Structure 1
Amino acid sequence: MAQRPEGPDFKAQAQAARADLERQFAETRAQFDQARAQFDQVNERITARTGRNLVFATAIGVGVGAVVLASLIFVSALFMVFAAAAFALAVVELGTALRVAGRDIPRTAGVIAALAMIPASFYLTGDWRWYVTLAGMALVVIWRLVEYAWPGRRGGGDALVRDLAASILVQAYIPLLGSFAVLLAAPQNADGRWWLVAMLIVVVAVDTGAYAAGLNFGRHKMAPTISPGKTWEGFAGAFVAAAAAGILLSIFMLHVPWWFGFIYGGVLLLTATAGDLAESLIKRDIGVKDMSGWLPGHGGVLDRLDSILPSAAAAYALYVIFHPIFF
């Protein structure tokens, strides 16, 4: 049986090998620490400039996006659950924020009306979904009028009118615009869910393109009084990203002519940008930075839906116009 050498040469070799491993481990650890420090510095600069934590924002965005896309691709009815949760939370956020500005918004009635729009858009056809929409708006108006009858909830007549107008605005802004996304995913709209998936991807591309280009090249402010972070260079980056995404999606997902990608990407670029600016204007008027802090790195739910809501209506309009032409 072979004996393990125990001489001084073997011990010296073992010690040298151990020292070499320790040196390599120390160098690797130093390189890792240096890379981490550089990443932290970049993340801190991005956070200081944009007000968002890149790590949290990316993780939350990827996680939520993956779940929503999976529901659309595999079980479209499950998308209603996520849409209902998102719209209900957004209604609560906006209603709460408007209360900071002095508007008395019936949030419970608003959530009920928003939730009713989801199955109405998914299952009902014809004019029935519009009846549900009008009924929801009537509900929030009647709810506020009943509250006004109580002495403790009364105010001036002008304040009541503003409350009613703000309550209707919340319903038109969130559940009505958002219902077009649910309508696209409805069973009666052939290929509609793929147009919805394409819309979400283009909106993400717009946001990413604007973020990257604005962060690296942004010099000229687009709307400094509304959204100081937006630049024309960022808008140009968003245009390139939207056009590229639109063309690729037209060819490989929607199976329509490539040139439609310019139309799809261009329209959604405008609606996504307008939606972002509109929400920024609302927040500026109210005096808040984010609608809430429910999504780390993103702010509130409505801060993520601001570009999607008008884009959903635009995507549905494009579907109604072009889908019969192509198919």
Structure 2
Amino acid sequence: MRTGRNLPAAIAVGAGLGAAVIVSLYTVKEAFLAVLLVTVAVGVVELVRAFAVRDIWVPLAPALAGLVGMVVGAYWGGPEWLLGAFTLTVLTLLIWRMPRGTDGYVRDASGGVLTVVYTGVLASFVPLMLAETDGADRVLIFVAVTVSSDIGGYFAGILFGKHRMSAISPNKTWEGFSGSVLACVICGAVLVRVLMDGQYWQGAIVGAVVAAFATVGDLIESVIKRDLGIKDMGSVLPGHGGVMDRLDSLLVTLVPVWLLLAIFIPT
């Protein structure tokens, strides 16, 4: 089974991104927030441009401003500030669209709200984790286990993939999904135990949940891209496509990981 991915380029880009995450995460937390903001901001730009293919108009300026407000607010103010920034962003988008008239208002407004939720709201759970005293470890677990899903699924699919999982994403197979689950469970069990002194079974549960949600995240973006009639959200990352093509599973797994770690290992 071939996936069409430029593997050397994908590995090089992945290693570079991983190094940037780890270095910023364990040096100055604010530096990691800056990396997060820049990355997700590029994703917002890609999503806005992708919607434009179907004549869905989403104003970029308030979407980016809302992203900054939600991420920064979540880190320094907690969930209340995140909720407030999200509400103000949605209201701004609704008002911003009004001068363009009534034709297509609901379509554009819906695209704007989807953009804000899919990027800003979900990404803001990273600073919620990061603000904890052991926040760097929590974020590393989230990133590493989710990336394990992609790696395990990719190689298991290449080596053993035969049974297609969904017509939405033809390259996904049940064998690949099994590889994702195995990689996530092992990675989760080890990291939760080593980094947070949790139990192996707790990390295994985190891994299994991540594998499921990461796969759903991939499928959600596949549905969006098929509806818009595009192959990739962008081309800024060689071997990967666009930033949103890498963030899809990460964004969707964020809330489950944040919740499970908060339950298993409260601070």
TM-score tier, shorter chain, comes to over 0.9
Runs of 4+ in 1 over 3 A off after TM superposition: none
How far is the alpha carbon of 1:102 from its aligned partner? 1.7
Alignment check: 8 A CA contact 1:196 1:312 kept: no
My pick for the range that moved more, 90-99 or 70-79, is 70-79
Amino acid at match of 2:203: G
Identity of aligned residues (%): 39
Residue of structure 2 equivalent to 1:228: 170
Q: Report Cα offsets for 1:72-99 as digits up to 9, x if no partner.
A: 1221111110111111111110111011
Residue of structure 2 equivalent to 1:191: 134
How far is the alpha carbon of 1:319 from its aligned partner? 2.4
How far is the alpha carbon of 1:125 from its aligned partner? 2.9
Structure 2 alignment gaps of length 5 or more: none
Q: Report Cα offsets for 1:29-60 as digits up to 9, x if no partner.
A: xxxxxxxxxxxxxxxxx8xx212211111101
Q: Larger radius of gyration, structure 1 or 2?
A: 1
Residue of structure 2 equivalent to 1:134: 87
Amino acid at match of 1:112: A
Count of residues in Structure 1 that have an aligned counterpart in Structure 2: 267
Out of 114, 124, 140, the position equivalent to 1:169 is 114
What does 1:139-154 align with in structure 2 at a 5 Å threshold? 139-146=92-99, 148=100, 154=101
Structure 1 alignment gaps of length 5 or more: 1-45, 149-153
Q: TM-score, normalised by structure 1?
A: 0.79
The answer to whether structure 1 residue 204 and structure 2 residue 147 are counterparts is yes
* Larger relative contact order (CA 8 Å, sep ≥ 6): 2
Out of 29, 32, 44, the position equivalent to 1:91 is 44
| Partners of 2:68 and 2:42 in 1: CA distance | 11
How far is the alpha carbon of 1:263 from its aligned partner? 0.9
Q: How well do the aligned residues superpose, as a CA RMSD in angstroms?
A: 1.3
Q: Report Cα offsets for 1:204-262 as digits up to 9, x if no partner.
A: 111010000000110000012x1110000000111110111111112211210111122
What does 1:194-273 align with in structure 2 at a 5 Å threshold? 194-224=137-167, 226-273=168-215
- Aligned to 1:294, the other structure's residue is in SS state coil
Q: Report Cα offsets for 1:155-195 as digits up to 9, x if no partner.
A: 62xx2111101100110111100100121112xx1212211
Q: Report Cα offsets for 1:95-151 as digits up to 9, x if no partner.
A: 1101101211111221111121121111113522211111111112211113x1xxx
Residue of structure 2 equivalent to 1:5: none
| Partners of 2:186 and 2:163 in 1: CA distance | 24
How far is the alpha carbon of 1:285 from its aligned partner? 0.7
Q: 1:302 to 1:180 in 2, by over 3 A?
A: same
Out of 35, 43, 65, the position equivalent to 1:112 is 65
| Partners of 1:256 and 1:305 in 2: CA distance | 27
Out of 242, 260, 266, the position equivalent to 1:318 is 260
Alignment check: 8 A CA contact 1:184 1:196 kept: yes
| Partners of 2:261 and 2:73 in 1: CA distance | 19
What does 1:7-86 align with in structure 2 at a 5 Å threshold? 49-86=2-39
| Partners of 1:181 and 1:276 in 2: CA distance | 19
| Partners of 1:54 and 1:125 in 2: CA distance | 39
Amino acid at match of 1:52: R
Q: TM-score, normalised by structure 2?
A: 0.96
Amino acid at match of 2:198: V
Amino acid at match of 1:104: W
| Partners of 2:33 and 2:79 in 1: CA distance | 19
| Partners of 1:179 and 1:296 in 2: CA distance | 26
